[in-house]
Amino acid sequence: MTRAISPLLPIVYSAEVTAAKTRGAPIVALESTIITHGMPYPGNLDMALSVEEIIRQQGAVPATIAVIDGVLHIGLEPDVIKALAQMTDVMKLSRADLAFAIAERRSGATTVAATMIAAARAGISVFATGGIGGVHRGAEESFDISADLEELARTAVIVVSAGPKAILDIPKTLEVLETRGVPVVTYDSEDFPAFWSRSSGLKSPLSVASPAAIANFQKVRGQLGIDGGMLIANPVPEEFEIAREEMEIYIGRALANAEREDVTGKDVTPYLLDNLFHLTDGRSLKTNIALVENNARLAAEIAVAMI
Ligand code: PSU
Ligand code: MN
């Protein structure tokens, strides 16, 4: 392992990522909040290891990102991933507190927003996740809008997702992304997906049919001097999909439970995901794992096409 970049910023690259950077190989960033706050153990560990393997099979190198004891890690060794998957007192880090965790020597998992910041810092321009955060239902009252949206507007990283999580208000999420100038591009479909389902009932603002087209689109944005990232929506494979109408019933119950228990702030998304895991007898988790794997494959293809 190498300590690099700045003597002021404690940052460690995995051996695999260091080698990839040296030879200019394609790298795909992966977040860690999905491991610590998005899925229960041991499904989270299986997912974290399998997505890395999928990226390697496509000829790219995985870089799972987290803060461990105040050190920003770009690429985690398998034993660290194993430990992280079982940790219960890890912070959930976004733009507001990524630096806090480093400054205070804490451990924290990076959300989409914090992973984008770290990836950009490390020169990685493609990132695979499950679903981004967005505008929560009832945001007109709660003001709960994920910092992921603002980060997409600011930081030049291509984020491959299965759409915004269906627990959110998807039309409002699309409106904010449009206002902030973030391209929303569905892969190989005109329908905008809703995480567990292949369609949200909304048309996708843009769509493309190949990883090379995505790479080229981002290149042209750069040539025009347009800052910021891009959201790729990759519909979950059909065999793992949970129909939208069915999922809506569970989401309604999970939202009611969250309200009754007064869940707010950072706890909302993890609470809802855990509730849905129980309400669907674990089916939502199987779908979640399948869609992250599917996104890892596409992200690797995009990273390869960008070289
Ligand atoms: N996608 C998943 N599971 C997750 C998340 C995304 O399949 O747990 C995490 C991501 O880290 C995302 C975060 O950035 O949820 C959004 O949280 P919030 O709504 O509090 O911004
Ligand atoms: Mn929030």
Catalytic one among 16, 31, 52, 241? Answer: 31
16 lines ligand 1 (CB under 6 A): no
Q: Which residues of the chain have pLDDT under 50?
A: 5
Catalytic one among 21, 92, 165, 266? Answer: 165
Crossing angle (nearest 10°) for helices 244-260 and 268-279: 120
Q: State residue 3's pLDDT score.
A: 52
For ligand 2, the distance from its centroid to the CA atom of residue 265, given in whole angstroms, is: 5
* Core vs surface per residue 64-82: b (16+ CB within 10 A) or e: bbbbbeebbbbbbeeebbe
Tokens of 210: 């190949």
Closest Cα to atom 5 of ligand 1:
34
CA distances 125 to 200, 223, 306, Å, are 27, 15, 9
CB 150 within 8 A of CB 133: no
CB 297 within 8 A of CB 305: no
Q: State residue 43's pLDDT score.
A: 96
- Is residue 98 packed enough to be buried (19+ CB in 10 Å), middle (13-18) or exposed (0-12)? buried
| HSE toward the beta carbon, residue 209, CA cutoff 13 A | 0
Closest Cα to atom 8 of ligand 1:
38
SS3 (DSSP) at 66: strand
Give the whole-angstrom CA distance, residue 271 versus residue 221.
Answer: 37
Q: State residue 167's pLDDT score.
A: 95
Dihedral in degrees, nearest 10, Cα atoms 134, 135, 138, 141: 120
Task: Identify the structural domains of the chain with CATH numbers, from first to last.
Answer: 1-124 (3.40.1790.10), 132-307 (3.40.1790.10)
As a residue count, the chain comes to: 307
Closest Cα to atom 2 of ligand 1:
130
Which distant-in-sequence residues (6+ apart) come within 8 Å of 253 by Cβ? 275, 279
CA distances 87 to 81, 83, 105, 180, 224, Å, are 10, 6, 16, 35, 44
Closest Cα to atom 21 of ligand 1:
146
234 lines ligand 1 (CB under 6 A): no
Give the whole-angstrom CA distance, residue 135 versus residue 149.
Answer: 9
Ligand 1 atom closest to the CA of 130, numbered from 1: 7
Crossing angle (nearest 10°) for helices 283-306 and 211-223: 60
Q: State residue 7's pLDDT score.
A: 63
245 belongs to the catalytic site:
no
165 belongs to the catalytic site:
yes
Q: State residue 8's pLDDT score.
A: 79
Q: How many helices (H) and strands (E) does the chain have?
A: 13, 14
CB 262 within 8 A of CB 142: no
CA distances 29 to 61, 116, 120, 195, Å, are 9, 8, 10, 20
